[in-house]
Amino acid sequence: LMAEHPDDPRALVNRLYIRCLTRLPDETEWEVIESTMPSAEKKDQRAWKTWYIGVLWGLLNSNEFLYNH
């Protein structure tokens, strides 16, 4: 997914949400997601990959995923 959306973290997170929860994140969730996002000027792919993995694990460990999917 990172190769498909290298400069668009919002599109990648949307894809993660759709794949895990079959919906897009709401505005409250986006506030939390953006607060943990690496700084925009940081081009370190490792930091972004670690962040995306964290978002994915958060989705997979959410009550919504555990009890609804």
| Residue 16 · residue 59 · CB < 8 Å | yes
The answer to whether the predicted template modeling score (pTM) of the entire model surpasses 0.85 is no
In the chain, the percentage of residues whose pLDDT exceeds 70 is 84
For Cα atoms 13, 29, 37, give the angle at the middle one, nearest 5 degrees. Answer: 55
Write the DSSP assignment of 14-43 as a string of letters.
HHHHHHHHSS---HHHHHHHHHHSPPTT--
How many CA atoms are closer than 13 Å to the CA of 1, on its beta-carbon side? 17
Q: Which amino acid, 59?
A: L
Structure tokens at 10: 């919002």
pLDDT (tens digit per residue) in 8-32: 889 999 999 999 999 999 999 999 9
The residue ranking higher by pLDDT, 33 or 43, is 33
